[in-house]
A and B are shown apart, each in its own frame.
Chain A
Amino acid sequence: MRTILFLIQKEFLQIFRNKTLLPVIFGVPFIQLIIFVNVMTFDLKEVKITVVDNDHSVYSRKLVSRFKGSSLFRVSERNISLHEAEDQMLRSQTDVILVIPRGFEKKLVKEHKGETQVLINAVNAMSAEIIHGYVNSIAYEVSKEIMVDLKLFRQMAGRKIIQVTPSFWYNQDLNYKIYMLPGICIILVSIVSVFLTAMNIVREKEIGTIEQINVTPIKRHQFIIGKLIPFYLIALFLFTIGISVGWFFYHVPVNGSLALLYGVITLYLVGALGLGLFISAISETQQQVLFTCFLILIVFIIMSGLFTPVESMPRWAQYLNVVNPFVYIIRAMRMILLKGSGFHDLIPEIAALTVYGAAMLSFAINTYRKRA
């Protein structure tokens, strides 16, 4: 026991005396958290729309003014041709081109039909789809307005209506930040626990100090525990900071029990630290560690369901995800924090994380050899 304590003391001394690394470990995650949370949203802030109005009528202006009135669109209506507008789009100066044909109003009044052309820059498919939705709803509003204007509402009377009332539970305002923050905390904690652990041990290998430890009477499990506990504590500390920042600044709710939250994160960290240990056992240089970690983390994170729902992934990806600890921990975090789920709701996740932790740790201990 005393040996382990000394080892832990040694690790902490080494970590805290490195003046360049210290701010990186503790400061950077904090900044990242704030930046990440603000970046990872798919809300559109401003869409530039160029109007090519060939009709210059009351109704065409009505349509344009609806766009002007929306907070999303910024309308530019200099009199230009479609060709010029397309050139603007090529130069990324506009996102949407609205073309109102000659005779737009006439056709609306006579045939009750209006046609306009909308060109959306769809290089970013996701934004384009959202823009499409907004454009449609504006067109719908305008068509209702015109219907009132042309006194067509009487013809609507016979129609049946089903009124749909949406209610969004656990996140009424559809706040993206409280959704992303728990997942981002997990990423930061994982980088520290997997990457730092692996780097730390391989560095000892590279410099040769690991041999000095190997010739001491320190046992294998003592060495490993001595290595893992400091990083466990650092990771836990960062996690606490992350959740507090979320709670203070972004109003991330903590609906579930804190004990359960820390229990689950501990289970996860055992697996993550074990993974770090395992990577260090199979690597000889720090460069190898870097690239191995990079590959594993990138695959795990992309597939974790942090950005897009796991359920939307193809079946083979879902099978692969069985061994992805990020899937379980991110789901568990969101469930505990946002929905206040209890132990019984989380049994599948907890079981998976326990198996993962146990497997990783025993795997790592067995690959690590005391040898010269």
Chain B
Amino acid sequence: MKRFLGFVRKEFIHILRDPRTMAILFGIPVIEMLLFGFVISNEIKDVSIAVYDQSRDADTRNLINKLASSGYFKLMHEVSGPGDLTALFKKGEVKEIVVFEPFFSKKLHEQHKASVQLITDASEPNVATMIMNYTSSVIQGYLNEVNNGTALPLQLDLRVRMVYNENLRSVYMFVPGIIVVILMLISAMMTSVSLTREKEHGTMEVLLASPLRPVQIIIGKVIPYIVLAFINIIVILILSYTVYGLPVQGSLVLLLAEALLFCIMALSLGIMISTIAETQLVAMFISMVGLMMPTILLSGFIFPVESLPKVLQWISAVMPARWFIVIVKGIMIKGSAFEHVWKETLIITGFALLFILITIKKFKQRLE
């Protein structure tokens, strides 16, 4: 036991003596939390637009003022001829051009129908759709004024309630996602790299020749990473509570227990990778492209699983991270209890056992 503790101490020293890596490891979750919370946003504000007003009358003036003062748009140009439209878009100066037909007011008041063309730069399709919707709603608002607020003769009122997330905040999506990415990064990636490093430097053989049993070596190797991972999870939870006001609805103990399970799964995955890879570079590439990318992309962290193509949905089903995200979201946001997430827990346990089994087999082979 004393021998084992000494070994664990050695591992801690190995990690702690590289202050930059430590700083980055603790920095990444904090930076990610802040970036996702404050930088990533689809909000439409001050979008540069141009108008091509062919009628220049009271109504078009009013509408242009409405658009400019809505807060969504910033009027950059008044185009005088159809030829200028392309040039504006090519320079990327404006994202939308509002074209009013000639005799707009006249048509609106005499024929009760006038038309506006909204040309958007759809090289950014999501932005284009949003700009379109916002512009239409401003126009609709103006129209209601013109019509003196006469309501439609029939009203079908939908009282929509956004369950679990009344204010539609993105925190509810990214906090569970960041927890998963950090656990993967520390548990799987760092373990695989640090074990391969011992192999590359030849110190693994020294360790194996020592009186420590292989199981002890492996466990001693992973303990520091479990500690690191847990500190990070707690930092993330504290940040999400203090900065974003997102409490853990369900049981904190259950959440941490599930995190520990996922940690063990990721660690066994990391060890498995290290038995395959011969150099650190290969280990890194396998864990980066084979683990991090799929974790980020296919787990429903940023892009919802339901909107993936069918084939990728199947692939995502064998991603442990996907199930873990369901668990974390459930416990943190919906306040799910164990009875709601036992299936997902079972799946992760299954993965963990599978990886441990493969590792034991591989590890023995290497000893011979």
Contacts and interface: CB of A to CB of B under 8 A. Distances in A.
Same complex: yes
Interface of A: 20-21, 24, 28, 32, 35-36, 38-47, 86, 89-92, 95, 108, 112-129, 132-133, 135-136, 139-140, 142-143, 146-147, 150, 152, 155-156, 158-172, 174-176, 179, 191, 199, 203, 285-288, 290-292, 294-295, 298-299, 302-303, 307-309, 311-314, 317, 331, 334-335, 338-342, 345
A312 B41 contact: yes
Interface size class on chain B is: 35 or more
Nearest to A161: B113
B159 A334 contact: no
24 contacts: A20-B277, A20-B279, A21-B282, A21-B285, A38-B312, A39-B312, A44-B307, A112-B153, A120-B161, A122-B172, A125-B172, A132-B162, A135-B160, A139-B156, A160-B108, A160-B109, A168-B132, A171-B123, A171-B128, A286-B197, A295-B31, A299-B35, A302-B36, A309-B127
B307 A41 contact: yes
A187 B139 CA distance: 39
B239 interface: no
Given A174-B125, A287-B194, A295-B27, A39 B160 contact: no
A24 B152 CA distance: 61
B45 interface: yes
Contact of A160 (B38, B146, B297, B330): B146
B173 A115 contact: no
Contacts of B160: 118-120, 132, 135
Contacts of B117: 164-167
B72 to A, nearest CB: 11
A205 to B, nearest CB: 13
B368 interface: no
Interface in B349-368: none
Contacts of A108: 154, 156
Given A122-B166, A176-B126, A292-B20, A156 B333 contact: no
Contacts of B78: none
B118 A163 contact: no
A156 B112 CA distance: 12
Contacts of A41: 303, 307
B293 interface: yes
B165 A303 contact: no
Interface string B259-301: 0000000000000000001111110111011000100011000
B32 interface: yes
A150 B155 CA distance: 12
A42 B159 contact: no
A125 B285 contact: no
A20 B278 CA distance: 9
A179 B120 CA distance: 14
Contacts of B210: none
Contact of B129 (A112, A127, A174): A174
A36 B294 CA distance: 9
B114 A119 contact: no
A308 B161 CA distance: 26
A342 B90 contact: yes
Contact of B139 (A24, A155, A164, A309): A164
B92 A287 contact: no
Contact of A118 (B38, B136, B158): B158
Contact of B154 (A129, A135, A147): A147
B236 to A, nearest CB: 15
A304 B54 CA distance: 37
A287 B281 contact: no
B139 A345 contact: no
A168 B90 contact: no
B21 interface: yes
Contacts of A89: 163
Given A120-B163, A128-B162, A287-B18, A312 B45 contact: yes
B154 A150 contact: yes
B257 interface: no
B114 A35 contact: no
A166 B118 contact: yes
A132 B168 CA distance: 11
Q: Which of B24, B35, B118, B285 has the most CB of A within 10 A?
A: B285
B120 to A, nearest CB: 6
B90 A335 contact: yes
A299 B31 CA distance: 8
Interface string B72-98: 000000000000000001111000000
Given A123-B329, A307-B40, 9 more contacts: A39-B303, A45-B307, A116-B157, A125-B165, A174-B122, A199-B284, A292-B20, A295-B24, A308-B42
